[in-house]
Structure 1
Amino acid sequence: MEFVEEVVGRPPLVLGVDPRPRLHGPEPLTHIRRYSLELMEALAPRLGAVKFQTAFFEALGPQGFALMHELIVAARVLSLPVIIDAKRGDIGSTAEAYAEAYLQTYPGSALTVNPYLGSDALEPFFRAARQSGGAVFVLVKTSNPGSGLFQDLPLASGGTLYQAVADYLAQQAEQQRVGDWSRVAAVVGATYPEQIGEIRSRLPHSLLLLPGLGAQGGEALRGAGLLNSASRALFYPGGQPSVEEAVRQAERYLAVLG
């Protein structure tokens, strides 16, 4: 099934899986595996997708990368759409390899990518998404406080750099429609609510992934095609692993999202 078709029929809440070994005792990999599986199963009816941040698994070495693969497969068994948060972006041949590694290996899943090497670096991801039934979430306006240093730069032609990225994606999105929505999607930080509305007007057919909910200060936002993503606030509610508290936190978010 297409990622887009799966995710739009589910609740607009995304679980970010960003494991911190120090919170998981003397055998962190074993506990991270067990906790993540229990958490995904408990939250499955309340989630639109699960987002795996590759950096935290890569930091655990080869076993961590193998664990991420196992958890991605487990999420699909639970019928949960998967977003692989790797923020890849490189020259065309390398982009093709990244696209194969993530979009082709995990059909029907999504990948976050960086647009700043240009269209030839993005096209392999768009092509792989079309072939695999996946989606590509392109960084437009990110949630971190320093994002404006480059993304808000004014252009001589008018507007800002992030607006130019959004306008380029709008053209690509029209070529990748799956019904009302497109496989070409965008990442817009929940920490910038005013920009979310503006970017939605530029990208009317793109899903918007809104990271930064909770720990970074972002608030849950309602709206068609808005995927509110919580990592620390949902994976470690109260700063510790707790399946029961995570379920309660998810219910609180969903009460706001309707």
Structure 2
Amino acid sequence: MDFLLALSRPPLVLGVDPRPELHGPEPLSHLRRYALEVFEALAPKLAAVKFQLAFFEALGPEGFGLLCELASAARVMGLPVIFDGKRGDIGSTAEAYARAYLLRFPGSALTVNPYLGLDTLTPFFQAARESQGAVFVLVKTSNPGSGFLQDLLVEGRPLYLRLVEALARKGEGYREGEWSRVGMVVGATYPEVVLTVREKAPHAPFLLPGVGAQGGRPLKGPGLLNTASRALFYPGGRPDLEGALQAAEDFHRALVE
């Protein structure tokens, strides 16, 4: 599976941020069943499944095992996988992260942090090309405080925009057809920024977090992957398969209105 095929699927990404306290006396067993049911029910309506690594890591070794099991199940169902870990480090450590999530899971994507320098991202980009995966670099994140650093003016332009321009140039070397394997994370909570970034990076896939619980609305356009986590995986604040199906329908309706 080539991750870039996700861009030809319905532009909705299911975010999985497991909350064991919502799953009864045997939380991991119930979480496993519920997640598989949601994947199967929503598969035709999704571009990909995004796993927030922190929530699985918080569950210890059993949580990491569950992550691997659910990621493999999603891929068997034909759903591309995004590992949301915002990884970033220098040298051999970056290479190890790239092996762990891109080479071990060919055709998958990983979110990364650029603030150690663009040279530290090269191992991720190379692994994405080798594995037919993708990398989503944090550019303008969905949280309200993102502007503290990301909006700082550098030579008259916001820092995030200078980063976008550098990544767009870099991404041309990893472009295959219309799309690059170097994507960007841009919060759906800042729709005007999405438009600005698209002008500077016409060939980069965008991962758009913040849809639903954070107040962002689904955005239309090629190469946009709208991501909903709590609003889609736990509609109404609890496991609810019928509610998840309805939420997916509502998101799709918003994209065609």
Q: Which bracket does the TM-score occupy, shorter chain normalised?
A: over 0.9
CA distance in 1, matches of 2:2, 2:69: 21
CA distance in 2, matches of 1:233, 1:245: 9
Is the counterpart of residue 136 in structure 1 residue 170 in structure 2? no
| 1:23 alignment counterpart | 22
Task: Supply the AA of the counterpart residue of 2:129.
Answer: R
| 2:119 alignment counterpart | 120
For structure 1, which segment, 70-79 or 157-166, has the greater mean C-alpha deviation from structure 2 after superposition?
A: 157-166
| 1:233 alignment counterpart | 231
Is the counterpart of residue 55 in structure 1 residue 64 in structure 2? no
CA distance in 2, matches of 1:147, 1:112: 16
Could you tell me which of 187, 193, 201 is aligned with 1:189?
Answer: 187
**Aligned counterparts, 1:73-88, within 5 A:** 73-88=72-87
Paired residue total: 256
| CA displacement, residues 85-134 of structure 1 (integer Å, 9 cap, x when unaligned) | 01000112110000000000000000000000012210000010011000
Could you tell me which of 161, 173, 176 is aligned with 1:175?
Answer: 173
Is the counterpart of residue 3 in structure 1 residue 3 in structure 2? yes
Superposed CA RMSD in Å reads 0.7
Deviation of residue 172 (structure 1)? 1.4
Task: Supply the AA of the counterpart residue of 1:67.
Answer: L
Task: Supply the AA of the counterpart residue of 1:87.
Answer: K
CA distance in 2, matches of 1:2, 1:34: 27
Query: Any conservation in 1 of the 2:7–2:225 contact (CA below 8 Å)?
Result: no
Unaligned residue ranges in structure 2 (runs of 5+): none
Task: Supply the AA of the counterpart residue of 1:230.
Answer: A
**Aligned counterparts, 1:35-114, within 5 A:** 35-114=34-113
CA distance in 2, matches of 1:205, 1:64: 35
| CA displacement, residues 173-217 of structure 1 (integer Å, 9 cap, x when unaligned) | 111112111100000001111101001111100111100001001
Q: Residue 175 of structure 1: SS of its match in structure 2?
A: helix
Deviation of residue 255 (structure 1)? 1.1
Query: Any conservation in 1 of the 2:7–2:224 contact (CA below 8 Å)?
Result: no
Unaligned residue ranges in structure 1 (runs of 5+): none
Task: Supply the AA of the counterpart residue of 1:236.
Answer: Y
TM-score by length of 2: 0.98
Q: Residue 112 of structure 1: SS of its match in structure 2?
A: strand
| CA displacement, residues 208-255 of structure 1 (integer Å, 9 cap, x when unaligned) | 110000100101111111110000000000111111110011011011
Task: Supply the AA of the counterpart residue of 2:188.
Answer: A
Task: Supply the AA of the counterpart residue of 2:216.
Answer: G
Deviation of residue 161 (structure 1)? 0.9
Task: Supply the AA of the counterpart residue of 2:187.
Answer: G
| 1:216 alignment counterpart | 214
CA distance in 2, matches of 1:235, 1:118: 34
Is the counterpart of residue 159 in structure 1 residue 157 in structure 2? yes
| CA displacement, residues 51-82 of structure 1 (integer Å, 9 cap, x when unaligned) | 00000000001000110000000000000010
CA distance in 2, matches of 1:185, 1:44: 23
Task: Supply the AA of the counterpart residue of 1:177.
Answer: R
Deviation of residue 158 (structure 1)? 2.3
Task: Supply the AA of the counterpart residue of 1:107.
Answer: P
Query: Any conservation in 1 of the 2:171–2:180 contact (CA below 8 Å)?
Result: yes
